[in-house]
Amino acid sequence: GAGVSQSPSNKVTEKGKDVELRCDPISGHTALYWYRQSLGQGLEFLIYFQGNSAPDKSGLPSDRFSAERTGGSVSTLTIQRTQQEDSAVYLCASSPPIGEQYFGPGTRLTVT
């Protein structure tokens, strides 16, 4: 079946502009995660959605970052007033109630 998809695969934006990153999880997966990975670094947790529960936003680095998950499926990560330090690969993952995460290919964001 289809895996986790993310769009766009690459995004170049100017400093100060807003960007939206999209994640389509695997159908039926109740959990959805967003991570950030800077060059040569580990995974930085951003936000976690689990079913109808309130999302865990504890990893969002600033109030410029927000995310929503509509209808328990597609998720959008929004970064307002982008800064150069926001440049990274943004990864989305989904998981069923029991089991591992399945990762998308990521969106490479470059802020110039």
Partner 1 sequence: AQSVTQLDSQVPVFEEAPVELRCNYSSSVSVYLFWYVQYPNQGLQLLLKYLSGSTLVKGINGFEAEFNKSQTSFHLRKPSVHISDTAEYFCAVSDLGRDDKIIFGKGTRLHILP
Which residues here bind partner 1, judged by CB under 8 A? Answer: 31, 33, 35, 42-43, 45, 48, 50, 53, 56, 91, 93, 95, 97-101, 103-106
Amino acid letter, residue 20: E
- At closest approach, how far in Å is the CB of 40 from partner 1? 9
Task: Provide the CB-side half-sphere exposure for 30 (13 A, CA).
Answer: 9
- At closest approach, how far in Å is the CB of 43 from partner 1? 5
| Residue 28 contacts residue 96 (beta carbons within 8 Å) | yes
Judged by CB, which is closer to partner 1: 35, or 65?
35
C-alpha span between 90 and 35 (Å, rounded): 6
Judged by CB, which is closer to partner 1: 4, or 111?
4
- At closest approach, how far in Å is the CB of 5 from partner 1? 12
The reply to whether omega before 25 is within 30° of 0 (cis) is no
Degrees, nearest 5: CA angle 91-12-37: 25
Judged by CB, which is closer to partner 1: 1, or 42?
42
